[in-house]
Amino acid sequence: MENKLKIEIVKWIDEYELLTMIREKVFIEEQKVTSQLEWDGMDKEAIHFLAFKDKKAVGCARAFVIQNRMQLGRMAVLKEYRGEGIGSALIEIAMTLAKLNQLSGIYISAQCHAINFYKKFGFEVTSDIYLDVKIPHRDMKLDF
């Protein structure tokens, strides 16, 4: 098997079926986030990242540009593909895009279990723990 990983920057209108499938599996089925909270109506305006492994959609993230910074969120990798560098590849392309657009950094609302993952890329914790969709989170930022 080739085992090729590819990340694409996509529009919601073009790839909403694949993005929806990944987010429903990870956030709604696995993490028990309600549909009403997951589908916030902001996807049409977002930048979307879609990860493919051997041509199968396996991960995603979305971003907005707010006041010269990228707000990155809704990062998800299908359970059976975790630990294969897909999340890292999504972060790296987001960082590259932010730098290419001369943004000053990236903000994320990180689930607490993922904080050490983001720290590997230089993100720093900027808030106390808070609950978002009943899951503990902390705000983090990466300055360029």
What pLDDT is attached to residue 2?
55
Between CA 36 and CA 65 the distance in angstroms is 23
Nearest to 138 by CA among 120, 116, 122: 116
- Whether the Cβ atoms of residue 125 and residue 89 lie closer than 8 Å to each other: no
Mean pLDDT per 10-residue segment, the chain (144 residues): 84 98 97 94 97 96 97 97 96 97 98 96 98 94 97
Which H, E and C letters describe the chain, residue by residue? CCCCEEEEEECHHHHHHHHHHHHHHHHHHHCCCCHHHHCCCCHHHCEEEEEEECCEEEEEEEEEEECCEEEEEEEEECHHHCCCCHHHHHHHHHHHHHHHCCCCEEEEEEEHHHHHHHHCCCCEECCCCEEECCEEEEEEEEEC
